[in-house]
Amino acid sequence: MKRTLLLLAVLLSTSIMVAQKVKVTDGSFKNLKDITAFNLEFDYSDVMIPKYDSEEEFLKDKMEKRDEKEAGTGDKFKESWFADREDRYEPKFIESFNKRWKNDERKVGMDIGADYTMKIHTTLMWAGYNVGIVRKNSKVEATVSVYETANPSNILWSANYTKVEGGGAGGYDFDSGYRISEAYAKLAKEVTANIRKKAK
């Protein structure tokens, strides 16, 4: 029995460890040691959607399928697809990052006049799905980098985050925008944890 429990614990910890991955591609976490505030910049250019050659192809497919069922719903889907970025994903990242630091030890925000900027370039986005009896978490991947606001070419640190998944507690996440927003919350959590641990 003990051996079985130990094996399950090892498998669980292994699955957790591979769930999110970070690979530093430029600079070092140590360069962020004394930075307490970051402007935020979000970039969704060239985002990949699994099973599609481009975001445009994805939108065309989803809009056509919705319009076949009910005219006009395709345009509504496209509007929400883009609106969710500013309305849901970005605020969720900010909230998740900031709540993990006491007394504004570190903070991020849009146009807060900080000397340094953190850029979140989303490279992959997948909404996942929830049809009641079957569901899959959303997934985002991003290149996160920090540079001098006045000198963007001076990159202090950059890293690729992959396999960042998001979903609602208890599986009540039928809305795709909500699932994706939870992935951005998880991304912020991972970035925060890395900075706390490695920016020393």
**Residue 12 falls inside a structural domain:** no
Does a structural domain hold residue 9? Answer: no
Within 13 Å of residue 186, how many CA atoms lie on the same side as its CB?
A: 26
Domain count along the chain: 1
Task: List, in sequence order, every residue forming a beta bridge with 129; answer none if it has no partner.
Answer: 136
Is 170 part of any domain?
yes
- Mean per-residue pLDDT pooled into runs of 10, the chain (200 residues): 43 44 95 97 97 96 95 94 97 97 93 97 91 82 98 97 84 76 96 95
Looking at residue 9, its pLDDT comes to: 42
In order, the DSSP letters of 111-122 are: T---SEEEEEEE
The predicted model scores a pTM of 0.86
Q: Does the residue 8 lie in any domain? A: no
C-alpha Rg value of the chain to the nearest Å = 19
In a domain, 136, yes or no: yes
What pLDDT does 170 receive? 62
Answer whether residue 13 is part of any domain. no
Instruction: Quote the domain boundaries for residue 97.
Output: 19-198
Asked if residue 51 belongs to a domain, the reply is yes
Residue at 4 is within a domain = no
Per DSSP bridges, beta strands 129-130 and 135-136 are: antiparallel
